[in-house]
Amino acid sequence: MDLHIGQVPLRSHLVLAPMSGVTDRIFRRLIRHCNGADVGLYVTEFISVECLWRGNKRSLFMMRKDPEESPFCVQLYGRDVEQMVAAGRLAVERGAQIVDINCGCPAPKVVRRGGGAALMKDPQHIARIVEAMVEALPVPITVKLRSGWDDEQLTFLEAGRLAQEAGAAAVALHPRTRKSLYKGVARWGLIAQLAAALRVPVFGSGDVVDGETYRRLFQASGAAGVMLGRGAIENPFLFRELARVERGEPANAPSLQERFQLLRVYYEGLREDYPERPNLHLGRVKNLVNRMTRGRPQVLGLRQRLLRSQTIEDLLDLVAEMDQAAPVHLEATA
């Protein structure tokens, strides 16, 4: 395995995608617990540089990492160059080995202020941010792009090239436009175009959920690595499985019970980082249940009962009942 971002070596080319409201320290710990060395890089959820600039404690808290967590990347969003640099310094002080710039978030409250996917309308400004951060910070700077604002403005090639010229050490692409949000399919062909155009490693993001989709994206795109997002929520063992598939071994997809056992581990972690916030605990655990059971007719009844739970204790009792039942196999990863 010889993949580096700048001077930072990655153990694997499978990277945990940044996901707001999901990839906090506790979720990342869960992913580490399930996959160990098969995770190439851990990325935080996006963090607002404006909030950091105002001294917002919660935003600083979002930069927390476990000592064992490495390599570790903090993703920032914003537009103001000075604020981006200042936030980058805070991230490095807190252990970031890589700092990533979000150029893909489609949320109205983010793009209205010119950040996230709005940056795709202004690739020159992406380059200005990258240049200033490369100049000021001792760690590699990366960017995560969408394909453009809409189909009439596919700016990913220009943005990728300018970011590389400005010193970006890697580029990730989620090949959907801001306008398409998460609809339709990720256009993996665009990842291939970007990988062919750049010298720095390109990471492909979008719709990889099993061995089959992984092989198709990885082989068809020529990307240096693959980011796993929603697929890793649905199946937190996905990195391990894909590494097995790559070695030609059986994937050994975990049963539903094995996935559900993680809910307890996750809950214990949430209690540690967010004490006194039972609604957050229940909401986050339900979010995981929702993703793990979505579109699985064989567990529809159970899914409904779990998602109707009023308290975390009720939900975990239902999970405990499942332990006694015969293992439920959701699918065999190809």
Ligand X SMILES: Cc1cc2nc3c(=O)[nH]c(=O)nc-3n(C[C@H](O)[C@H](O)[C@H](O)COP(=O)(O)O)c2cc1C
Task: Indicate whether 210 belongs to the interface with ligand X (CB under 6 A).
Answer: no
Task: Indicate whether 19 belongs to the interface with ligand X (CB under 6 A).
Answer: yes
Q: Which of 123, 175, 206, 211 binds ligand X (CB under 6 A)?
A: 206
- The C-alpha atoms of residue 139 and residue 169 are separated, in whole angstroms, by 10
CA angle, corner 33, sides to 27 and 34, nearest 5?
Answer: 95
Kindly state the helix (H) or strand (E) to which residue 260 belongs, with its residue range.
Answer: helix 256-273
Dig out the tokens for 235 from the structure. Answer: 């199946």
Using the minimum distance from each CB to ligand X, give the nearer residue, 201 or 229. 229
Q: Any residues with CB less than 8 A from the CB of 227 and at least 6 apart, and which?
A: 15, 16, 17, 172, 174, 203, 204, 205, 208
Task: Indicate whether 207 belongs to the interface with ligand X (CB under 6 A).
Answer: yes
Exposure class string for 246-283: b at 16+ Cβ within 10 A, else e: beeeebebbebbbbbbbbeebbebbbeebeeeeeebbe
Whether the CB-CB separation of 78 and 84 falls below 8 Å is answered with yes
Task: Indicate whether 17 belongs to the interface with ligand X (CB under 6 A).
Answer: yes
Q: Which of 91, 105, 126, 190 binds ligand X (CB under 6 A)?
A: 105
- The C-alpha atoms of residue 307 and residue 309 are separated, in whole angstroms, by 6
**Tokens 């439920």 found at:** 328
Minimal distance, residue 22 CB to ligand X, in Å: 5
Stretch near ligand X under the rule CB under 6 A, chosen from 4-12, 28-36, 101-109, 241-249: 101-109
Whether the CB-CB separation of 273 and 26 falls below 8 Å is answered with yes
- The C-alpha atoms of residue 119 and residue 155 are separated, in whole angstroms, by 10
Stretch near ligand X under the rule CB under 6 A, chosen from 86-94, 159-167, 205-213, 245-253: 205-213
Minimal distance, residue 319 CB to ligand X, in Å: 22
Q: Which of 144, 244, 259, 303 binds ligand X (CB under 6 A)?
A: 144
Task: Indicate whether 315 belongs to the interface with ligand X (CB under 6 A).
Answer: no
Measuring CA to CA, which residue among 184, 172, 178 is closest to residue 228? 172
Using the minimum distance from each CB to ligand X, give the nearer residue, 233 or 322. 233
Using the minimum distance from each CB to ligand X, give the nearer residue, 60 or 318. 60
Task: Indicate whether 228 belongs to the interface with ligand X (CB under 6 A).
Answer: yes
Site for ligand X in 23-62 (CB under 6 A): 45-46
DSSP E strand boundaries for the chain: 3-5, 8-10, 14-16, 42-43, 47-48, 72-77, 98-103, 141-148, 170-177, 202-205, 225-228
The identity of residue 236, as a single letter, is P
Minimal distance, residue 186 CB to ligand X, in Å: 6
Stretch near ligand X under the rule CB under 6 A, chosen from 16-24, 90-98, 129-137, 193-201: 16-24
Task: Indicate whether 229 belongs to the interface with ligand X (CB under 6 A).
Answer: yes
Binding mask 164-203 for ligand X (x = CB under 6 A): ----------x-----------------------------
Give the interface size with ligand X as a residue count (CB under 6 A).
22
Minimal distance, residue 105 CB to ligand X, in Å: 6
Measuring CA to CA, which residue among 185, 186, 199, 71 is closest to residue 139? 71
Measuring CA to CA, which residue among 58, 185, 179, 171 is closest to residue 111? 179
Stretch near ligand X under the rule CB under 6 A, chosen from 20-28, 154-162, 242-250, 308-316: 20-28
Task: Indicate whether 290 belongs to the interface with ligand X (CB under 6 A).
Answer: no
Minimal distance, residue 102 CB to ligand X, in Å: 5
Minimal distance, residue 23 CB to ligand X, in Å: 7
Residues catalogued as catalytic: 105
Q: Where do contacts with ligand X occur on this chain (CB under 6 A)?
A: 17-22, 45-46, 75, 102, 104-105, 144, 174, 205-208, 228-231
